[in-house]
Amino acid sequence: MPVVEELIRTEQDGTISFGNYKLNAKAKHDNFEHDGDLYKVKTFYEITKLERNGSFVYESVPGTAVEHFHVDDAKVEFLVEGSQDAQVTLQLEEDCEYEVFVDDAAVGGMKTNRSGKLVVGVELNEGTAVKVKVIRK
């Protein structure tokens, strides 16, 4: 899975891809329109962050490349790649239970805090994408 050279793009299946963990300096793309929403991505080797309409959506430390990022009322799913293991934080509904899957293996149930954030640790190897799926219970 290659990094996203243009920092953010719309895929043919209607999802978005974003992030470039190979950049040595911070880069951002602002006001990217997708399905009536405005997205902003900031990315480089230390962090990748995505906002939608000014609100937090995704963050990884260190930086990652994300493909086919899809969010609906019931789930979030995407492919993620990085040069090393990453901590991924997602903005979901506050105080809700979610089942987390990494490469289709159940990681277990997790509950969001009052701010709606869910943190998932993902083991990554450069050049290999990992599938992450978070389903609301």
pTM: 0.95
- Please write the tens of the pLDDT for every residue from 12-43: 999 999 999 999 999 999 999 999 999 999 99
In the prediction, which pLDDT does 134 show? 98
CB 87 within 8 A of CB 60: yes
Q: Which amino acid is it at 51? A: E
Structure tokens at 72: 């609906």
In the prediction, which pLDDT does 71 show? 95
Q: How is domain 8-136 classified at the CATH fold level?
A: Chondroitinase Ac; Chain A, domain 3 (2.60.220)
Domain ranges of the chain: 8-136
For the chain, list residues with pLDDT below 50.
none
In the prediction, which pLDDT does 2 show? 67
Q: 29 by DSSP, 3-state: which?
A: strand
In the prediction, which pLDDT does 3 show? 83
